[in-house]
Amino acid sequence: MKTKLTTRDLISAGAFGAIYLVLLTVFSMVLPVVPILYLGIPLIAGVILGSVYMLYTLKVPRRGAVLILAILVGLITSMSTIYPLFFAILWGVIAEIILAGERRKSANALVASYCVFNLTSMGPFFALVVAKDAFLESCAVYYGEDYAATLDAMTPSWIIIVFVVLALLGGLLGGLLGKRILKKHFIKAGISS
């Protein structure tokens, strides 16, 4: 198996990255209409985007491909603060480590890497931890004072732990769903269960 990214790999990475980012952006724009759904983005997006991630890793089975996708997600989710980019890079590196060597040919390793990778969907929630007041003011402008008050009441200081658990659970469920949906593709690519 080749390990270096080729031009074709980069084109595929860009295409699948665009699909992943568009879907994540849609979820991030539609779900916030209801505060509880907004808080569920790491779980909901994780379950649905798992298949896209799995297909991406099948089409671009090279070292560095997952990190490229993580950086793209980090750039998109870093609109208000730089922290999501730093954490996205961290999650991308850890996901790459999980897939190091021959583990890239293991469906279970792909699921585990997606569990970690899905933590990148938490980018916008870091604002709730590092700048909650500014974040709530922004919410009040876009969604109204009642929405901001509801979100404030639903997000105590320890909420980041809940987001991590939701992201990991969404990654696990999405990875398993993607593994099941793409079973024929895994077999064809020589990836073991």
Q: What is the DSSP string of 67-127?
A: HHHHHHHHHHH-SS-SHHHHHHHHHHHHHHHHTTGGGGGBHHHHHHHHHHHGGGGGGGGHH
Which is higher by pLDDT, 37 or 114? 114
pLDDT of residue 1: 47
Specify the pTM.
Answer: 0.85
Return the exposure string of 39-53: e unless at least 16 CB atoms fall within 10 Å of the residue's CB, then b.
bbbbbbbbbbbbbbb
Classified as helix, coil or strand, 7 is helix
How far apart are the C-alpha atoms of 186 and 193, rounded to whole Å? Answer: 8
Classified as helix, coil or strand, 192 is strand
Please classify residue 174 by burial: count the beta carbons closer than 10 Å to its beta carbon, then call 0-12 exposed, 13-18 middle and 19+ buried. Answer: buried
pLDDT at residue 172 tops 70:
yes
Confidence of residue 127 (pLDDT cuts 50, 70, 90): confident
How far apart are the C-alpha atoms of 143 and 32, rounded to whole Å? Answer: 9
Write out pLDDT tens, residues 17-54: 888 889 988 888 888 888 888 888 899 999 999 999 99
